[in-house]
Amino acid sequence: MNLFSIQQEEVGGGLVFWHPKGALMRNMIENFWKDLHLQRGYDLLYTPHVGKADLWKTSGHADFYAENMYKPIQVEDEMYQLKPMNCPFHVAIYKDGYFSYKDLPIRWAEMGTVYRYERSGTMHGLFRVRGFTQDDAHIFCLPHQIADEILGVLDLTEEILGQFGFTDFEVNLSTRPEKSVGDDAIWEKAEGALIESLNRKGWAYAVDDGGGAFYGPKIDIKITDAIGRKWQCSTVQLDFNLPERFDLQYVDAQNVKQRPIMIHRAIFGSLERFFGILTENYAGAFPLWMAPTQVRLLPVTDTVTPYVEEVQRKMREAGIRVDITTNERLAKLVRNAEKQKVPVMCVVGEQEAADGTLTVRTYADGDQGAFAMQDVIDRIVVANKGKKEKF
C-alpha cells in the first residue's frame, strides 16, 4: 500500500520512513490526538532529540537503562545522549518554572521521538524499531489529585482507542516490588488511588503483585485486535523517583516546599507500533475517515475529463482525499482500486457527466448506485466529521 518502508541496506535497520500516504495518515492520527488532549486540559510540548549525558545520570537511566541506550557522542567539550525517554525533558521544563499548589495539576503532552538500542535479531517491522514516537504525557499533581487524574487518563484512553475500533481491554494493576523507593504511606496512597480509579471506571482488572516499577505502581492496558491478538499499548505509571532525583517542588498552602507526584502515561505507546497494529487489524482496509485515499474517480472515457476534474476540485475543497485513475478498462480500474482498498470508487461515464451524478461502489459493500455529486461530497464530509468507518 506504499505507506512506509524500512531501508536497512541504505540507511539502517529499525528506522521508519513514512511515505506520502502513511505520513498523511500519521498526521491525521496526531491531529486527532492533539485536539483531544487540548480539549482535556493538556498543554503540548516539543523537546530536543538529544541532551547532555549527565541528564541521564541524574534521571537514573544511565544506571538502570544503559543497555537500551546508544553511546554518548562528544560535542565540543561535552558528551550528549540521544534520548530514550521524554520524561527528563518534561522535568527540565517543570524545573524552569515556579509552581504553587494552586497551579497543580499540570498536564503536558508530546509526540516525542525517542531512540533505543534494539539488537538486530529483535527488530520486527513497525512493532519493534530503534527510532519511534511516543505519545507521551506527564502529569504533575498533588497526592489527593491522583485518583481523579488517573480516572481522566482512563477515560481519555477509552475514547482514543475506541475511535480506532479497539474496545476490548485487558487491564493489569502492578503493585509495589520488593525493591522500591518512597515511603510506605506514599505507596499505600498511590496504590489505593489506582484501585479507586479503576473501580470508578468500572473496569475489571488483574493484580500483578510486586510487578510495579521500583519508582511507583502502574496500570497496563492491552487491546484486542480483529483476530484476537492482544497488544500492550497504554500504560499509566506513578513516579516518586524523578521528582526526588531532580528536586522538583511546589509551594503548599502554608508556603512550605513539597514534592509533586509525577504520572507518566502513554495511550498509543509507540505511534509506529500502533500504526502497525491498526494496519493488521483492518487488513489495510482503513475506515473511511482515516483512509489515505478516500475516493477514487474512475472515468470511463476521455470525454468526461472536464466533469471528473470538476468533481475532484470540489471534493478537495471539501477536504476529501481524492484521486483520478485512467488509461485502463473500467474492470481493471475497479480491480486496482480494490487491491489498494480505496473505500469509495466513483464511476463516471457520459450519463453521469450529463446528469451531474456519480455511480458509487464501496470497498466494504460493493455497488451503491447513482448519487448526485453533492450528495456524495456531503456524505463523506459528514463521515469525516464523525470519524465514521463507512460511506
Annotated catalytic residues are 87, 116, 134, 136, 138, 218, 264
Cβ 114 vs Cβ 269: under 8 Å: no
Q: Report the candidate in 361, 301, 307 with the shortest Cα–Cα distance to residue 326.
A: 301
Helix runs in the chain, H state only: 20-39, 53-59, 61-64, 87-95, 146-163, 184-201, 241-245, 271-281, 305-317, 330-339, 350-355, 373-385
Instruction: Kindly state the cell numbers that stand for 112.
Output: 516525542
The burial of 28, by beta-carbon neighbours within 10 Å (0-12 exposed, 13-18 middle, 19 or more buried), is given as middle
What residues does 174 pair with on adjacent strands? 208, 218
| CA 115 – CA 83 distance, rounded (Å) | 6
| CA 287 – CA 151 distance, rounded (Å) | 29
Residues in the chain: 391
